Structure 1
Amino acid sequence: MKANVGGIDKVARIVVGAVLIGLALTGTVGVWGWVGIVPLATGLFNFCPLYPLLGISTCKTKR
């Protein structure tokens, strides 16, 4: 898995994922909040499986 998530994208994914999971744990949004696991995991692993299919990468290129 080559890293394709970086910078602000990574931080946003982690924050959104953690907030959704937190809301699910408190019962505010119900079961749908557990979908926050996906952005949290992609942010932590620096890899989004959808990005290669779309030809997108938010990581800075190493030169």
Structure 2
Amino acid sequence: MKTNVGGIDRVIRIVVGLALIIAAATGKVGWWGWLGVIPLATGLFSYCLLYTLFGINTCPTGKK
């Protein structure tokens, strides 16, 4: 699997994902806060299925 998420995009996904999960765990937001797992996972794995479908690649090297 080639990586297609890199740099700032990756950091933003991880931060937003963690923020949503923490907000959901503390009761600040509703159940939808648990959807933060999605940006967190795509940031940690540096791979986004939607980027593949749309032909987007923010990773400069596109490593395997």
Superposition TM-score tier, normalisation by shorter sequence = over 0.9
Q: Number of residue pairs matched?
A: 62
* SS of 1:57 mapped into structure 2: coil
Calculate the TM-score normalised by the size of structure 2.
0.93
Calculate the TM-score normalised by the size of structure 1.
0.94
Deviation at 1:61, TM superposition (A): 3.1
> How large is the RMSD of aligned CA atoms in angstroms?
1.0
* SS of 1:41 mapped into structure 2: helix
Give the fraction of aligned pairs with identical amino acids, expressed as a percent.
Answer: 66
Cα distance in structure 2, aligned partners of 1:5 and 1:56? 9
| Structure 1 residue runs of 4 or more that deviate by more than 3 Å after TM superposition | none
Cα distance in structure 2, aligned partners of 1:23 and 1:61? 34
Gaps of 5+ in 1: none
Cα distance in structure 1, aligned partners of 2:15 and 2:47? 16
Deviation at 1:9, TM superposition (A): 0.1
Deviation at 1:52, TM superposition (A): 1.0
Cα distance in structure 2, aligned partners of 1:18 and 1:26? 12
CA deviation vs aligned residue, 1:6-30 (integer Å, no higher than 9, x gap): 0000000000000000000000101
Matched, 1:14 2:14: yes
- Who is 1:43 aligned against? 43
